[in-house]
Amino acid sequence: MSAVPAMGLACAVIGLAGCADKADQPRSLAGADPARGLVVIKRAGCASCHAVPGVRWPAGATAASLDGFGDRPLISGRLPNQPDTLVRFIRDAPSLDPQTAMPPMPVTEAEARHVAAYLYTLR
């Protein structure tokens, strides 16, 4: 994970307001509703692969638990954990990282925004 200190340095030097590794930075998605995101998560079956706080069953173990995701600086340890990137990752992760085992998910852009808003409540 050598990318993390490097990004931290870039943030310190450039002073970007929304820098990717500021895990305590509020991440807002205008108009997105975390409660609707949880409904989408249940319907889409994210929990068949991920343990997701708020979803009692199933609690899949083929992928990382999403508990605490809102505090992670990176998505899958590689991509900046920022709203636009997360929304795209949720819908079509392979378009961002061809090596990823996270499949494209059949959710709309609006649904993915709700999901992202929910994931950012997981601190």
For residues 83 and 116, is the Cβ–Cβ distance under 8 A? yes
Asked if 102 interacts with ligand HEC (CB under 6 A), we say yes
| Cα 78–chain centre separation | 12
Asked if 55 interacts with ligand HEC (CB under 6 A), we say no
Length of the chain counted residue by residue = 123
Q: Find the DSSP H helices in the chain.
A: 3-14, 34-44, 83-96, 109-119
Which of 11, 63 has the CB closer to ligand HEC? 63
Residue selected from 70, 105, 114, 117 as contacting ligand HEC according to rule CB under 6 A: 105
Residues that bind ligand HEC in the complex, under the rule CB under 6 A: 41, 44-46, 48-50, 62-64, 66, 69, 72, 75-76, 90, 97, 100-103, 105, 107, 115, 119
